[in-house]
Amino acid sequence: MIEIRNLKKSFKKNQVLNNLDLEISTPGIFAVLGPNGSGKTTLIKCILGMVLPDSGQILFDGIPVMHEWQYRRRISYLPQIARFPENLTVSELLHMIRDVRQQPSHEQEIIRMFELEPFIKSRLGTLSGGTRQKVNLVLTFMYDSPVIILDEPTAGLDPVALIALKELIHAERKNGKVILITTHVMSFVEELADEVVFLLDGRIRFKGSVNALKSRCGEDNLERAIARLLKGECIPDDNLSGADGQGSAFPKTAGSGLKSQHHV
């Protein structure tokens, strides 16, 4: 479904993606993990065509995505930060996205799920951050796309909405979708993810189930397992990284990455 080969991307001197390979061919929930600056968002943006890679290839259903735009009909994307034109109302925004995508949508269902009915005629500028994130979720889940990409979906959600979100994700998995999630909330990963994709230094250092990760690192706790990954202790896996993990220098960002993971 998604095939990434030798992807390279640098911003000025900063090599963000370094010969990254990834193949996602089966449906399921994929948690993309890694410290800050490891290239998660860049990877996602490359798949969406928002960031243009320096070299390498991204195939979506076997077709290269470079400078294409039609393939995005088959992707739903939840951006990290929910900010919308301030003077439009929620219904106008929905209308706009429907107008742009021209695909069948089922927004009413999602609106009900997140109890957004009272806000439907409100101007987006007057909504709270959590409510905007709900609107953001509506925009993502109202389409029946085979691929769903969620960038920090839990940000600012209240517990009720969080439950609704989890239900939605579960339902979509049952429908046989590919769901890519980046998050720092490890419980969320543990609860939902079928597979973990771990990025460090612009490369994928681990790809496999949560249990496989735990057993490889010899930890019962996912957070600790990840922490060990960050220390470079249980990485060597030539099949995945394509490079030796032992000799590689530790990423400068590792420390901050750890800290951010502990806030959960």
The residues that touch another protein, with contacts defined as CB under 8 A, are 9, 11, 45, 48-52, 67, 69-73, 75, 77, 79, 81-88, 92, 96-97, 99-101, 123, 139, 149
Q: How far is the CB of 84 from another protein (least distance, A)?
A: 5
What is the C-alpha separation between 53 and 57, in angstroms, rounded?
8
Q: How far is the CB of 1 from another protein (least distance, A)?
A: 17
CA atoms within 13 A on the CB side of 82: 28
Find out whether 2 and 178 touch, Cβ atoms under 8 Å. yes
What is the C-alpha separation between 20 and 234, in angstroms, rounded?
19
Q: State which residue, 125 or 218, has the beta carbon closest to another protein.
A: 125
Q: State which residue, 139 or 204, has the beta carbon closest to another protein.
A: 139
Q: How far is the CB of 149 from another protein (least distance, A)?
A: 8
Cβ-proximal residues to 148 (8 Å cutoff; 6+ apart), any chain: 75, 76, 77, 78, 140, 141, 172, 177, 178, 179, 180
What is the C-alpha separation between 241 and 230, in angstroms, rounded?
14
Q: State which residue, 70 or 239, has the beta carbon closest to another protein.
A: 70
Q: State which residue, 96 or 113, has the beta carbon closest to another protein.
A: 96
Find out whether 148 and 180 touch, Cβ atoms under 8 Å. yes
Q: State which residue, 83 or 262, has the beta carbon closest to another protein.
A: 83
Phi-psi region of 94 (alpha: psi -120 to 50; beta: other; left: phi over 0): alpha
SS3 7: strand
Q: State which residue, 45 or 214, has the beta carbon closest to another protein.
A: 45
At position 156, the amino acid (one-letter code) is: G
For 119, the token pair is 């806000």
Residue listed under structure tokens 């796309």: 145
Q: How far is the CB of 217 from another protein (least distance, A)?
A: 34
Cβ-proximal residues to 36 (8 Å cutoff; 6+ apart), any chain: 253, 256, 257, 260
Q: How far is the CB of 45 from another protein (least distance, A)?
A: 7
Q: How far is the CB of 48 from another protein (least distance, A)?
A: 5
Q: How far is the CB of 100 from another protein (least distance, A)?
A: 5
Q: State which residue, 48 or 229, has the beta carbon closest to another protein.
A: 48
Q: How far is the CB of 214 from another protein (least distance, A)?
A: 33
Q: State which residue, 101 or 228, has the beta carbon closest to another protein.
A: 101
Find out whether 17 and 43 touch, Cβ atoms under 8 Å. yes
SS3 117: helix
Q: If residue 23 lies in a helix (H) or strand (E), which one and from where to where?
A: strand 14-24
